[in-house]
């Protein structure tokens, strides 16, 4: 069976390494961070991701880690590059972590007799694989891409929190290939590791690079469309975004996914892939108004919802934010709605307390010392006159009903996700569902009554 090496044991690379090992591949993973290497070799998850620790324990000696990329290439038939590609000011992605890895792979291939497959999994800007990356591999190895070694661009469409499930059961597999032998070898690896029989889209590098950004930009546009509907429904008595988007999703041209109608998208992929597509368009002299409008709309949502939420309390009343991560089941707070909302409210001079089951609050709250970190969800609720459900962690639904109520004056619970409907009508709670026009009247009452 093909032996695999993985460069980068981060949020994506570590689960991938464990998945390959669990499916019987021998895996040599590499990271420059000695703690991650040490963790893997001790059978411990180097990053937080549901199911990862169990998978590493089950790898049965097939997974090892080191800081030696050249040894990893020698040990394997195919190398996956999964290092970070940070966003630049211009909206593009930096190759500053990819290039040293490509050079190390090139050095190892120079002395290796056998054919080697290099797979670039990290998200890169269109044009990068066939130029900088390929040229570096050829220059350093002294070999020809397509003859002596193969190169594929094959990004993942996974969500943090469900990386393992998503990797095993992809909607489709995207392969940009230097030649058909390289593409076939990668498709065969995926056939062995995936649990479904997903379609494989094989193409040249540039089309695969554009497709990766296009998929995420399309999804962000769909999310924003549903969010726009939610904001419209909030203004129209009796309108309910759930009803509207449920019907919309029945149309096979549209489909039900990502049509919740809630809050801004965030995380390490959606916002930046969207902006990268606009950057590609700008560089190429094409227009990208749709992608730009989505990004603008997404940012505006933070301010808009902060304004709306603030109207439910007086200037001195504390607002509690439940959920700081960009989605449940992850500790990532990058561009997360909850965190940005807490910061926006705090910048408006509102006292804010926040809680998240996963995020390291002190780190997440960073320079915003004005935002207090609660030690538990009940503490966050108790200390607040207005509580906002910003991230729909399942455990917030399990909080006992009586914890939400308040005797002195009803506590306002603003449910951005319509996930706490059991609080509607509970004594001591004024339950506000966003995306629901029935609340418009109450909202007007709230704003006129609070000043």
Using CB under 6 A as the binding criterion, the count of chain residues that bind ligand NAD stands at 27
The answer to the question of residue 268 lying near ligand NAD (CB under 6 A) is: yes
Q: Quick check: 414 binds ligand NAD (CB under 6 A)?
A: no
* Residue 277 sits in the site that holds ligand NAD (CB under 6 A): no
Catalytic residue selected from 152, 233, 269, 380: 269
Tell me: does residue 16 bind ligand NAD (CB under 6 A): no
Q: Which stretch binds ligand NAD (CB under 6 A): 78-86, 110-118, 132-140, 389-397?
A: 78-86
Among the listed residues 5, 79, 123, 343, the single contact to ligand NAD using CB under 6 A: 123
Of residues 38 through 77, those in contact with ligand NAD by CB under 6 A are none
* Residue 122 binds to ligand NAD (criterion: CB under 6 A): yes
Candidates 18-26, 97-105, 366-374, 417-425: pick the segment binding ligand NAD (CB under 6 A): 97-105
Interface residue with ligand NAD, options 19, 27, 31, 297 (CB under 6 A): 31
Active site residue 269: yes
* Residue 156 touching ligand NAD (CB under 6 A): yes
Does residue 100 belong to the site contacting ligand NAD (CB under 6 A)? yes
Q: Tell me whether residue 39 or residue 374 sits nearer to ligand NAD (CB atom).
A: 39
Applying CB under 6 A, does 13 fall inside the site for ligand NAD? yes
* Interface with ligand NAD, residue 348, by CB under 6 A: no
Pair 399, 429: CB distance under 8 Å: no
- Given 33, 147, 238, 441, the residue binding ligand NAD (CB under 6 A): 33
**2 in Cβ contact with 45 (< 8 Å):** no
Provide the annotated active-site residues.
Answer: 269
Can you give the binding site for ligand NAD, defined by CB under 6 A? 7-13, 30-33, 36, 82-85, 97, 100-101, 122-123, 155-156, 158, 160, 268-269
């Amino acid at each position: 069976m093909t032996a695999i090496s993985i460069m980068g044991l981060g949020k994506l690379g570590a689960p991938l390494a464990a998945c390959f090992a669990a499916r019987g591949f021998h895996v040599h993973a590499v990271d420059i961070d000695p703690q991650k290497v040490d963790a893997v070799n001790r059978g411990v998850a180097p990053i937080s991701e549901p199911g990862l620790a169990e998978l590493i324990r089950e790898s049965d000696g097939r997974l090892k880690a080191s800081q030696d990329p050249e040894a990893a290439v020698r040990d394997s038939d195919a190398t996956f590059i999964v290092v970070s590609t940070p966003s630049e000011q211009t909206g593009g992605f930096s190759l500053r972590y990819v290039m040293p890895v490509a050079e190390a792979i090139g050095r190892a291939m120079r002395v290796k007799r056998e054919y080697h497959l290099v797979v670039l999994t990290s998200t890169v800007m269109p044009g990068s694989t066939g130029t900088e990356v390929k040229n570096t591999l050829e220059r350093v190895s002294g070999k020809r891409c397509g003859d002596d070694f193969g190169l594929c661009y094959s990004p993942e469409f996974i969500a943090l929190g469900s990386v393992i499930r998503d990797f095993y059961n992809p909607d489709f597999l995207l392969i940009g290939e230097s030649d058909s032998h390289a593409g076939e070898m990668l498709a065969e690896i995926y056939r062995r590791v995936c649990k479904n029989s997903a379609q494989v889209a094989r193409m040249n590098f540039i089309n695969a690079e554009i497709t990766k950004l296009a998929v995420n930009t399309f999804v962000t546009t769909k999310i924003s469309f549903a969010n726009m509907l939610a904001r419209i429904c909030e203004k129209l008595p009796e309108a309910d975004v759930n009803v509207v988007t449920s019907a919309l999703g029945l149309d096979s041209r549209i489909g039900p996914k990502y049509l919740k109608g809630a809050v801004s998208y965030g995380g390490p992929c959606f916002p930046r892939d969207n902006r990268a597509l606009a950057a590609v368009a700008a560089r190429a002299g094409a227009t990208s108004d749709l992608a730009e409008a989505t990004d603008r709309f997404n940012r505006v949502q933070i301010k808009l919802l902060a304004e709306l939420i603030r109207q439910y309390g007086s200037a001195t009343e504390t607002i509690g934010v439940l959920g700081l991560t960009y989605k449940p089941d992850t500790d990532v707070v990058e561009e997360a709605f909850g965190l940005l909302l807490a910061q926006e409210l705090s910048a408006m001079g509102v006292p804010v307390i926040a809680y998240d089951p996963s995020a390291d609050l002190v780190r997440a709250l960073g320079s915003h010392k004005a935002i207090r970190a609660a030690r538990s969800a009940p503490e966050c609720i108790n200390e607040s006159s207005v509580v906002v459900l910003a991230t729909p962690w399942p455990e917030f639904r399990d909080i006992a009903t009586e914890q939400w109520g308040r005797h002195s004056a009803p506590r306002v619970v603003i449910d951005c996700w319509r996930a706490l409907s059991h609080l509607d009508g509970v004594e001591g709670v004024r339950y506000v569902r966003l995306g629901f026009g029935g609340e418009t009247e109450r909202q007007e009452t709230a704003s006129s009554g609070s000043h």
